[in-house]
Each structure stands twice: as C-alpha cells, then as structure tokens.
Chains A and B, each alone.
Chain A
Amino acid sequence: QSALTQPASVSGSPGQSITISCTGTSSDVGGYNYVSWYQQHPGKAPKLMIYDVSNRPSGVSNRFSGSKSGNTASLTISGLQAEDEADYYCSSYANSGTLEVFGGGTKLTVL
C-alpha cells in the first residue's frame, strides 16, 4: 500500500489561507469518509486536527477545516498564524493489505 500523496511543502503569510492536498485511491481516501489530519511540531508527538474528513476535535481552532472530493482530501488553514508552522500528515482508513495509510507529510512555513 503506497503512502498517500501530499505536497512536500506549502507556505503562506500570516492572515492568509493555505490548502494542503492528500491524494489516495478508491481503496482508501476515495472509498471512505475516514480521513484524518495531524499536526506535528518539531520534536513533538502528532496531534489530531481533523477527523472523518471534516470534523474538528474539541479544542481545535475553527481556522482548520477539511474536505474531500473523489480520491483527494484537503486541509485548509485560514488566518494563518506563526504557531501553525509545523508538519501536517493526512491519514485514511484503507481496505487492502494495510488498515491505515499516512501521507508523506507537508511542511507548512509561515512567512
């Protein structure tokens, strides 16, 4: 099972919005509404930001939103803040071989 495809890096200025894509197949992203997004700051454990495509856990800012179209899911961060600078990983439930597959990760730089 190949990793989901994410851009290696994205950047934006404070206050702007950015979107990170996550492309899979019909066996994972396209087949289920079980896409999650995780934020990881350097030296820290990942943190759940979005689950089931578009749901936010309690305590996560509403500046973070998720969506999906076909085999591609997206994470949008609006009103960028310096603290958003981190690595972001998508993941999806999968039905072939492996139960879970992660994206390769996207490094977000806030300029």
Chain B
Amino acid sequence: EVQLVQSGAEVKKPGESLKVSCKGSGYSFPNYWIDWVRQMPGKGLEWMGTIYPGDSETRYSPSFQGQVTMSADKSISTAYLAWSSLKASDTAMYYCARRRQQWLETPFDIWGQGTTVTVSS
C-alpha cells in the first residue's frame, strides 16, 4: 500500500525550533515530488513548497520562502519540514502530499494524515 505517515502532534513555544517528518512507503520514494500544504484552523489549503527526494531539489512558495526549510533523506524515505524560530501564526495542520507522477504538473494523489503544530506561550 502506498502511504505517507507523518509525525505526531507538536506543542511548542514561540521562538523554538521544530522539524516534522513524512515517511513514504510502498513506492519508490526518491522518484516522486513531496509537497507540503498548510491548513490554518478553520481555513483553506495553502501550498508551501515541494522537494524532490532523489536530489533534494526544492521549490518554495514566495509566501513561505525563508520561513521554513524542506529537506529529505532518501535512504530512509523521509521528508522533513523545519522551522528555526516558530511564531504563534505557525499554528496549523501541516500535510505532506505526493505528486501523482514524477513531474510537477501533476496532482497530489497520496496525502499524509497531517501533523498539528500548536505554538503558544
């Protein structure tokens, strides 16, 4: 079964760092782009960026460039989304999602279950 399994919920304080993970299984992880999507409480989906695990090429949304860092370790089929200094406004659900084909002009066919990040003092 093709699936993405994300790390568990996080509760952090403003200014702390955080890295959440997304582990793929059931397919050739290095060969498919993995994207990250933010959903703030009660709001819609926002595209954050994408990474190609095969060579760690990344593309960021201008809205998130410099705010987060995407990385991947293809040896353990895992992608990561990291913050160096969290803000209260980072409180949201974060989804990872796989692109259906091995190029960018394709939809997200597999989604992780989501990781809830809560940032509060």
Contacts and interface: CB of A to CB of B under 8 A. Distances in A.
Interface of A: 1, 3, 32, 34, 36, 38, 40, 45-48, 51-52, 57, 89, 91, 93, 97-105
A63 B113 CA distance: 26
Contacts of A38: 45, 108
A45 B35 contact: no
A48 B108 contact: yes
B111 A46 contact: yes
Given A98-B62, A100-B35, A51 B106 contact: yes
Contact of A105 (B44, B62, B106): B44
Interface residues of B, number: 24
Interface string B15-54: 0000000000000000000010100000011110010000
Given A1-B62, A34-B105, A51-B106, A100 B47 contact: yes
Contacts of B107: 34, 36, 48, 51-52, 91
Majority SS at the chain A contact face: strand
Given A45-B95, A45-B114, A32 B105 contact: yes
Q: Identify the 9 closest CB pairs spanning chains A and B, nearest first.
A: A36-B107, A45-B111, A105-B44, A51-B107, A100-B47, A102-B45, A98-B61, A93-B105, A104-B44
A52 B105 CA distance: 9
B85 to A, nearest CB: 23
Given A46-B111, A89-B45, A99 B100 contact: no
Contacts of A91: 45, 47, 107
A57 B100 CA distance: 10
B104 interface: yes
Given A45-B114, A46-B111, A51-B100, A102 B46 contact: yes
B16 to A, nearest CB: 26
B105 A57 contact: no
A99 B104 contact: yes
Interface string B82-101: 00000000000001010010
B109 interface: yes
